[in-house]
Amino acid sequence: MAHDEGMAEHVDWQVLIDRETARQVAARVAPAGVPVSMREAADAPGTWIGTGHWRRHVERLTETVERAAVAIAQVPPGGVRDQLDGVMEILGLRLQRYTHIAEVGQALWPDDDTTDLDGTVPGMAPRLSGVAQEIDDRLSGALAHLTAVAVSIEHIGMADTGQRDPDTVSQLVARVLEQVPAP
């Protein structure tokens, strides 16, 4: 009995070694890292937005929305503040939408800073293509959009409180938003 158990243990160990060997060879053959289906559970793709590239997208978007929230909080109550509160609500919904899109990116082309097997070192952006690249471009566009909105909100707030010349701000906002891609 003990002998059988020893044999079973030996076979499992052998399989483990072989898989590791196959993974090392695959890391050289497959350009995008070790295929997900060849990894151990510990190196499996992170769920939701993962821990790498797609999470960084969401973090940058969140920071931008927070920047807008801070600017709005400094606007005194009034008609302008009312309008900006409405804008803030839309920004929150928009952030949710972009987060869902980032989640699709992670599902399609997972990138995690918690594993070395995905072909990128932590903090490094993967070289994407196809739909994953399109989603990446979409999120970059979204960041440009939200940044322009946050900058506009800051200037409108300053114009509202008399810190900046409203006419100048009006021109500046028009110029900033002109460059912005569709939301």
Partner 1 sequence: MTAKAVNQAKAPDRNTPDRGARDEAARDPGAPDRAPDPATALGSATALGSETALDRATALDRADAWAAPVGFGFWRALYADCCDAILAYDRVVATMPAGELRERLIELRPELPELLDQAWTVAELAAALFPAGPQRDPRLLKLLSEDPVLDLRQTIQDRPPDPGLRTALFGIREQLWRVAEDAGRLAWHVRENPHATDLTAWLRGLADGVAAARAAGWTPVGYDEDERPEAWS
Per CB under 8 A, the segment of 1-9, 28-36, 55-63 that binds partner 1 is 28-36
Q: Does 173 bind partner 1 (CB under 8 A)?
A: yes
Contact 158, 169 (CB under 8 A): yes
Applying CB under 8 A, among 1, 2, 3, 29 the residue interacting with partner 1 is 29
Applying CB under 8 A, among 60, 62, 69, 83 the residue interacting with partner 1 is 83
Residue 85 token pair: 């509160």
Query: Containing H/E element for 160?
Result: helix 130-160
Backbone angles phi, psi at 174, to 5 degrees: -60, -40
Q: Cα–Cα distance between 159 and 167 in angstroms, integer? A: 9
Per CB under 8 A, the segment of 1-9, 58-66, 170-178 that binds partner 1 is 170-178
> Which residues within the stretch 95-134 sit at the binding site for partner 1 (CB under 8 A)?
97, 100-101, 103-104, 106-110, 116, 119-121, 124, 126-134
Per CB under 8 A, the segment of 1-9, 25-33, 55-63 that binds partner 1 is 25-33
Q: Which is nearer to partner 1, 47 or 59 (CB)?
A: 47
Contact 64, 147 (CB under 8 A): yes
